[in-house]
């Protein structure tokens, strides 16, 4: 066994993933990447390049045909419950209150499901606390359809965090929000990551979002997706929203934009 701190939180090696049998869509091919423990990683790339596929591979929802995926040093062969997930669509259950929605993972995850009945109060307090950190204090008793889109998205973040996952996987969670709410939630995620040792993988279309939040950015090629560039972002933490107006920040964004433009051009040629 090597030095445990050298074991990446997420390790993807030479992975091919094809949907729907031998003739199906090759979504990612030769995908290799590693995310360190505690790191904030962002994945950007052209639409349809396999970013969501990557998320599903890491969480064990799909098992690749070739190559290996590992989380915390363990090879992924089935869903790994140390992961929390949030999507673009908040997918709250309309018949449960927001609080009960947030507690849902605890009714599933092996470690908690035996305790949730007897220790409900303690868990509810934890959920209330999470709601407070995302600015939804007192909204636990409301139903999701009584919340705005942005509020639902905050609640879905709480749901992803309630079982204290070591790895948080976010698939364009801010995509459908207005610019102000989005910036607010960037700060929520930033603080969350800063105050805990959770590892975050964020898929996004928004390059500024990636540069503002991430320590490491992976740029994917067009489908079949693989990593074409990986770059570290060294702005000191905690970062302020103001850094987005600095020249250095804009340079990084421009550089990434260039890579994605190239990837899209290659795709256009290939077609």
Partner 1 sequence: MAEARPKRDFTDLAPWIYTITLFALWEAASRGLSLPVYILPAPSVVAQSIVDYWPAIWKNSLQTLYTTLVGFALAVAGGLALGLLVGWSRFIYKGLYPLMIGFNAVPKVAVVPILVIWFGIGTVPAILTAFLIAFFPIVVNVATGLATIEPEMEDVLRALGAKKLDIMLKVGIPRSMPYFFGSLKIAITLAFVGSVISETVAANSGLGHMMLAAQSQFNVPLVFAGLVMLAIEGIVMYALMAWLEMRMTGWAHRSGMNRQ
Ligand X SMILES: Nc1ncnc2c1ncn2[C@@H]1O[C@H](COP(=O)(O)OP(=O)(O)OP(=O)(O)O)[C@@H](O)[C@H]1O
In the bound state with partner 1, the residue whose beta carbon lies nearer, of 80 and 189, is: 80
Judge contact between 210 and 50, C-beta under 8 A: no
In the bound state with ligand X, the residue whose beta carbon lies nearer, of 4 and 20, is: 20
Residue 140 C-beta: closest distance to Mg ion, Å: 30
Choosing from 4, 20, 21, 236, the residue that interacts with ligand X (CB under 6 A) is 20
Choosing from 37, 51, 126, 154, the residue that interacts with ligand X (CB under 6 A) is 51
Residues 46-105 close enough to bind Mg ion by CB under 5 A: 52
The conformation of residue 3, written as its DSSP 8-state character, comes to: -
In the bound state with partner 1, the residue whose beta carbon lies nearer, of 52 and 267, is: 52
Q: Which does 235 bind (CB under 5 to 8 A by kind): ligand X, partner 1, Mg ion, none?
A: none
Nearest to 85 by CA among 14, 7, 157, 17: 157
Residue 46 C-beta: closest distance to ligand X, Å: 7
Give the SS3 label for residue 178: coil
Residue 61 C-beta: closest distance to Mg ion, Å: 13
Position 48 contacts ligand X (CB under 6 A): yes
Distance between first and last Cα of the chain? 46
Residue 152 C-beta: closest distance to ligand X, Å: 19
Residue 101 C-beta: closest distance to partner 1, Å: 10
Nearest to 189 by CA among 232, 153, 148, 236: 153
116 CB contacts (<8 Å, ≥6 apart)?
103, 106, 107, 123
Give the SS3 label for residue 263: helix
Q: Which does 95 bind (CB under 5 to 8 A by kind): ligand X, partner 1, Mg ion, none?
A: partner 1
Token couple for 240: 């302020």
Residue 102 C-beta: closest distance to partner 1, Å: 12
Q: What is the chain's alpha carbon radius of gyration, rounded to the nearest angstrom?
A: 19
Question: CA 51, CA 1: separation in Å to the nearest integer?
Answer: 31
Residue 109 C-beta: closest distance to partner 1, Å: 5
Judge contact between 216 and 41, C-beta under 8 A: yes
Q: Which does 50 bind (CB under 5 to 8 A by kind): ligand X, partner 1, Mg ion, none?
A: ligand X
Question: CA 127, CA 107: separation in Å to the nearest integer?
Answer: 13
Q: Which does 162 bind (CB under 5 to 8 A by kind): Mg ion, ligand X, partner 1, none?
A: none
Question: CA 13, CA 57: separation in Å to the nearest integer?
Answer: 12
Binding site residues, partner 1, CB under 8 A: 56, 59-61, 78-81, 83, 85, 87, 89, 91, 93-95, 104-105, 107-110, 143-145, 159, 163
Q: Dihedral of CA 112/116/118/119: which sign?
A: positive
Position 50 contacts ligand X (CB under 6 A): yes
Count CB-CB contacts under 10 A for residue 181: 17
Size of the site for Mg ion (CB under 5 A): 1
- By the criterion CB under 5 A, which residues form the site for Mg ion? 52
- By the criterion CB under 6 A, which residues form the site for ligand X? 19-20, 25, 27, 47-53, 223
């Amino acid at each position: 066994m090597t030095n445990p701190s050298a074991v990446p939180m997420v390790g993807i090696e030479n992975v091919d993933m094809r949907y729907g049998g031998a003739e199906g869509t090759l979504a990612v091919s030769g995908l290799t990447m590693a995310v360190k423990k505690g790191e904030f990683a962002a994945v950007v790339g052209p639409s349809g390049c396999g970013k969501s596929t990557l998320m599903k591979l890491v969480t064990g929802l799909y098992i690749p045909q070739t190559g290996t995926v590992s989380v915390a040093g363990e090879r992924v062969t089935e869903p790994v419950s140390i992961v929390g997930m949030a999507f673009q669509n908040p997918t709250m259950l309309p018949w449960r209150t927001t609080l009960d929605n947030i507690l849902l993972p605890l009714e599933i995850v092996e470690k908690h499901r035996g305790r949730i009945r007897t220790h409900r109060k303690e868990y509810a307090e934890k959920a209330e606390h999470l709601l407070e950190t995302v600015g939804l204090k007192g909204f636990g008793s409301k139903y999701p359809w009584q919340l705005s889109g942005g509020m639902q998205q905050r609640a879905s973040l709480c749901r992803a965090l309630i079982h204290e996952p070591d790895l948080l996987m976010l698939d364009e969670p801010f995509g459908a929000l207005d610019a102000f709410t989005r910036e607010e939630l960037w700060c929520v995620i930033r603080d969350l990551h800063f105050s805990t040792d959770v590892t975050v993988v964020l898929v996004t279309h928004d390059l500024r979002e990636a540069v503002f939040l991430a320590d490491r950015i992976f740029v994917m090629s067009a489908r079949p997706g693989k990593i074409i560039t990986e770059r570290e972002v060294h702005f000191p933490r905690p970062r302020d929203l103001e850094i987005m107006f600095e020249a250095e920040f804009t340079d990084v964004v421009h550089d990434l934009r260039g890579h994605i433009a190239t990837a899209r051009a290659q795709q256009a040629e290939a077609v």
